[in-house]
Amino acid sequence: MAYKDFDAVIEAAKHKKRGVRVAVIEAGEEHTLDATMQAWRDGIIQPVLLGNREKILTLLKEPALAETVIHTESPEESARVAVRMVREGKIDFLMKGLAETSTVIRAILDRENGIRTGRTISQVTLIAVKTYHKLLCVTDPAIVALPSLEKKKDIVQNAVDVLNKLGYSRPKVAALCAIEKENPDMIETLDASALKKIVDAGEITGCEFEGPISADIAFDAAAAKIKGYQGSVCGDPDLLLMPTLAAGNIFCKAMRQFAGSINVGVMVGAKVPMVLVSRSTNTKSKYT
């Protein structure tokens, strides 16, 4: 299975039995609260709102949610409390409101009180664009600058785990390079080959994997056919593994700017995922 767009994800979430328990870190911001209320009304989430109680109550249009507010004195405290609640098994998902990303990550990574798993923390961006037939996920465009093979292994598994949880049984992964052959001048081609072997050996689970593969062959089944490249991933990838953070970052921003996509970032690899949306993003994106 695969989701056509974010509306399809929301529709599927509405049909689940129990709302996901989400801690909103620094919830005192209108778009964040509106998105949270909408998701709560739709029965998708059970929110916990962390931040300045007075500010949150002023902005809150849904009185029933007032009891979910936990007052904190600072973004640092909001992050710490949210992370503690994850450790206590009370929270399934984190969402960043007005807090700085670095503040939240510090709390997550804290050696004493954090929620590390031993795995590399990485980012997945989910992209909805009219010119592709389903959601397109990209990793890692935001956290790990120049991942080693070992880190790429974690990065792929982190993203595949998210897709598996979303209902994809075997997402199709394309390890993007400029070419299809191993080339020692292009470390990403060697990594892609090695990762394919790792997947075949069952050390990365829950996905199909293709690479090294160039973007035209990955995106376009007709181009793949012309170049004599076969594989179920061609023209149909769910997840793009990027060679570097810079490549992924430029790709995601180009999709938004030139192809009109909606992008949603999720931080993965800790005990629970965290939605990372820019502080300037609107309600629709935050809701998604």
CA distance linking residue 136 with residue 126, whole number of Å: 6
- For a copy of itself, give the closer residue by CB, 244 or 283: 244
Determine the Cα–Cα distance for residues 167 and 5; give it in Å rounded to an integer: 14
Q: Which of 32, 36, 249, 285: binder of a copy of itself (CB under 8 A)?
A: 249
Longest dimension (CA), the chain: 63
Residue 251 interacts with a copy of itself (CB under 8 A): yes or no: yes
Determine if 219 is a binding residue for a copy of itself (CB under 8 A): yes
Q: Measured from the CB of residue 150, what is the shortest distance to a copy of itself in angstroms?
A: 16
Q: What separation, in Å, do the N-terminal and C-terminal C-alpha atoms of the chain show?
A: 19
123 binds a copy of itself (CB under 8 A): no
Closer residue to a copy of itself in complex, CB, 82/174:
174
With vertex at residue 210, the alpha carbon angle to CA 206 and CA 215, rounded to the nearest 5 degrees, is 125
2 lies in the site for a copy of itself, by CB under 8 A: no
Interaction of residue 149 with a copy of itself, rule CB under 8 A: no
Dist. CA 168–CA 2, nearest whole Å: 6
Q: At 173, list the tokens.
A: 């992964």
Closest CB to a copy of itself among 90 and 284? 284
- Rounded Cα gap, residues 268 and 51, in angstroms: 23
Residue 127 CB, nearest approach to a copy of itself (Å): 9
| Sequence-distant (≥ 6) Cβ neighbours of residue 29 within 8 angstroms | 59, 97, 98, 279
Instruction: Give the one residue of 1, 64, 149, 226 binding a copy of itself; rule: CB under 8 A.
Output: 226
Phi, psi of 124 (to 5 degrees): -120, 130
Q: Give the count of beta carbons closer than 10 Å to the beta carbon of residue 134.
A: 16
Which of 245, 262, 268, 276 binds a copy of itself (CB under 8 A)? It is: 245
Per-position x/- string for 172-201, each x denoting binding to a copy of itself as judged by CB under 8 A, each - no binding = ----xxx----x-xxxx-------------
Q: What is the pattern of x (binds a copy of itself, CB under 8 A) and - over residues 269-288?
A: -----------x--------
Contact 287, 279 (CB under 8 A): no
Which residues make up the interface to a copy of itself (CB under 8 A)? 129, 131-132, 141-142, 145-146, 176-178, 183, 185-188, 214-216, 219-220, 226, 242-247, 249-251, 253-261, 280
